[in-house]
Structure 1
Amino acid sequence: MAPQISRGRVSIVVLLASLVLPLLFPECYYSSVFIASAAAPESDVDLLEFPLNLEYLEAEFFLFGSLGYGLDVVAPNLTEGGPPPIGARLARLDSLVRDIILQFGFQEVGHLRAIKSTVRGFPRPLLDLSTASFAKVMNSAFGRPLVPPFDPYANSINYLLASYVIPYVGLTGYVGANPLLQNATSKRLVAGLLGVESGQDAVIRALLYEYRTLSVQPYNVTVAEFTNRISMLRNNLGGSGLKDEGLVVPREQGAEGRVTGNILVGDKDSLSYPRTPREILRIIYGGGDEHVPGGFYPKGASGRIAKYYLKTT
């Protein structure tokens, strides 16, 4: 007579296997799970590779803005032969802003290297950093064409407003990814990236906050209103409620409901908001649809997560 295996023992074996297999074979395990469930991939590798899309964008925008050239000169090995960005150029910056943006650019080089030292990564995707690309973002934010079209490279204020568009999105992505990560190495990396991305966003917001009442010419719209419009646009595109706030907010929305100044974004407990890769794609593609490339990524973002959504149109 064949030996009988109790349901209790089977349950214990299944439980142990589910706990041990991901540790022994993380990539294989997660790949099989996601193929079987037909869900978007979210293994540590996938979640660490996805932010490369934004790190490439930030590196090129900051390097070109401060130096007039980008990764192809500064760190060509990191591009892996990916196409050069469209329309990126040197910005007319004052000495302080140029110094800060140059530091940001080199910080992004380090971020790319750190991620690629941990996971395989992918070549630089095609990026559209042209004046027309940023003008389209601003037109969407205001619900009408700005005349003349917004030029991010025209002066320091314009460049800082354009910079306001970028790092915060990556910041919220790292906040959202952190609790999903499985191992300590991944969590350490994301914590380190999040710290510097948060710092960059804080510096940009602080610089703009000083000029919050300044009228941006020739539009006769204040700096604060620009930031509010950009934040509202990202909320609308992300499609997941309030996760973004401008520099000046209603008092009840400020820290502890006591201030209208909003130099850092946070929820009711002043904690950073999280975003999923799906929400981020909706924002960076500019159309609110993670399946349809556009915006800063005319051919779409790279990595398994982004390509999953492109394939499920």
Structure 2
Amino acid sequence: MELSNSTASTTALKPLLLLLLLLHYLSGSAAFYIVSDAEKIPESDVDLLEFPLNLEYLEAEFFSWGALGYGLDRFAPSLTMGGPPPIGVKKAKLSPFMKDIIAQFAFQEFGHLRAIKKTVPGFPRPLLNLSASSFATVMNNAFGKPLVPPFDPYANDINYLLASYVVPYVGLTGYVGANPKLQSSTAKRLVAGLLGVESGQDAVIRALLYERAMVKVIPYDFTVAEFTDRISYLRNKLGKGGLKDEGLIVKPAQGAEGRIRGNVLAGDKFSVAFDRTPEEILRIVYGSGKENKPGGFYPKGADGNIARSHLDDVVNYDLLNT
């Protein structure tokens, strides 16, 4: 009788032992992040989902402060995860109509942060430089000379729209680039949803600017269309990934079906959205043209495994050569 009980206990334990061995194997080599009992996200998907947090933080702060005069620390402090407050950001002088649109964008970005962090662990808000001088540097680089007076993104509707043109579109191309690399259905659904709203925001920004395409940006002797063209050219140059950016007015050959100059939405020869890699994005938002050289909007660099891997390469190189 005792032998029979012992055999039954051993038989009952076998499934549990097999499960423990499987979990040990997965934790040691396969590197999955468990979202629920139904799905596990591969580590590569986690990295690709976390990387966009860098731009979502930037957009959330820029839009929220621009429209409402406060950012995440006032409206959703838990989303910052203790990260440092942004440098130089402030409320913009916006018309009621523009303020309403930008406020909507702000709260949408809060939702994007929540959606990503609901799916993957995330990381604290990185240090962001959203000062007027940071945007002025971008514009100076775009035109190849200092603008006089320095460009102020917070001065009025047009300036703020042009500043909004600078970064959000870059994040959009990042989602397009990440999508084919994702493996899990959870990650694909999330990126598709984020891309849909980010594309909508970009369309609104471009449409509002397109309406003013031939308007001179006071006090400069350049039109809105010229600003967008210069900014897009700079992003192509910094990204080093070829033509992945277009202004509001293009040569007819570059327009939809090669037949029109108006370019309210940017796209390739098939009017399909351009894509960018994380490295291309880092080169642009750092303003350095190098994914391992922080600066621009990210004085201490972006966060997440992908961005940190490039910074770690620099640190390791420096250690080896000291």
Aligned to 2:296: 295
| CA distance in 1: counterparts of 2:275 and 2:98, whole angstroms | 28
Secondary structure class of the residue paired with 1:123: coil
What are the equivalent positions in structure 2 for 1:258-277 lying under 5 Å apart? 258-277=259-278
Q: Which amino acid aligns with 1:297?
A: Y
Say whether residues 1:207 and 2:204 are aligned partners: no
Q: Which amino acid aligns with 1:140?
A: N
Q: Which amino acid aligns with 2:86?
A: P
Say whether residues 1:183 and 2:184 are aligned partners: yes
Say whether residues 1:161 and 2:182 are aligned partners: no
What are the equivalent positions in structure 2 for 1:7-26 lying under 5 Å apart? 25=26
What are the equivalent positions in structure 2 for 1:72-91 lying under 5 Å apart? 72-91=73-92
Aligned to 1:305: 306
Number of residue pairs matched?
Answer: 282
| CA distance in 2: counterparts of 1:90 and 1:192, whole angstroms | 29
Once the two structures are superposed, residues 183-232 of structure 1 have per-residue CA deviations (whole angstroms, 9 ceiling, x without a partner) of 10000000000000000000000000000000001111000000000000
- Please say which of residues 270-279 and 42-51 is displaced more in the overlay: 42-51
| CA distance in 2: counterparts of 1:28 and 1:109, whole angstroms | 34
Once the two structures are superposed, residues 39-89 of structure 1 have per-residue CA deviations (whole angstroms, 9 ceiling, x without a partner) of xx9700000000000000000000000001100011000001100000000
Aligned to 2:285: 284
Change (3 A) 1:25 1:252: farther
| CA distance in 1: counterparts of 2:187 and 2:203, whole angstroms | 24
| CA distance in 1: counterparts of 2:207 and 2:55, whole angstroms | 22
> How far did 1:26 drift?
8.7
Aligned to 1:6: none
Aligned to 2:17: none
Q: Is the 8 A contact 1:42 1:305 kept in 2?
A: no
TM superposition score normalised by structure 1: 0.88
Q: Which amino acid aligns with 1:203?
A: V
Change (3 A) 1:25 1:227: farther
Runs of 5+ consecutive residues of structure 2 not aligned to the other structure: 1-21, 33-41, 315-322
The RMSD of aligned alpha carbons is 1.6
Change (3 A) 1:248 1:106: same
> How far did 1:312 drift?
1.3
Aligned to 1:127: 128
Q: Which amino acid aligns with 2:248?
A: L
Q: Is the 8 A contact 1:27 1:45 kept in 2?
A: no
Q: Percent identity?
A: 71
Aligned to 1:43: 44
| CA distance in 2: counterparts of 1:52 and 1:142, whole angstroms | 29
Aligned to 2:105: 104
Aligned to 1:236: 237
Runs of 5+ consecutive residues of structure 1 not aligned to the other structure: 1-20, 32-40
> How far did 1:295 drift?
0.3
Change (3 A) 1:211 1:307: same
Change (3 A) 1:100 1:293: same
> How far did 1:29 drift?
2.4
Aligned to 1:11: none
Aligned to 2:6: none
TM superposition score normalised by structure 2: 0.86
Q: Which has the larger radius of gyration?
A: 2
Once the two structures are superposed, residues 211-270 of structure 1 have per-residue CA deviations (whole angstroms, 9 ceiling, x without a partner) of 000000111100000000000000000001100000000000000011000000100000
| CA distance in 2: counterparts of 1:25 and 1:98, whole angstroms | 49
Runs of 4+ aligned structure 1 residues displaced above 3 Å come to 24-28
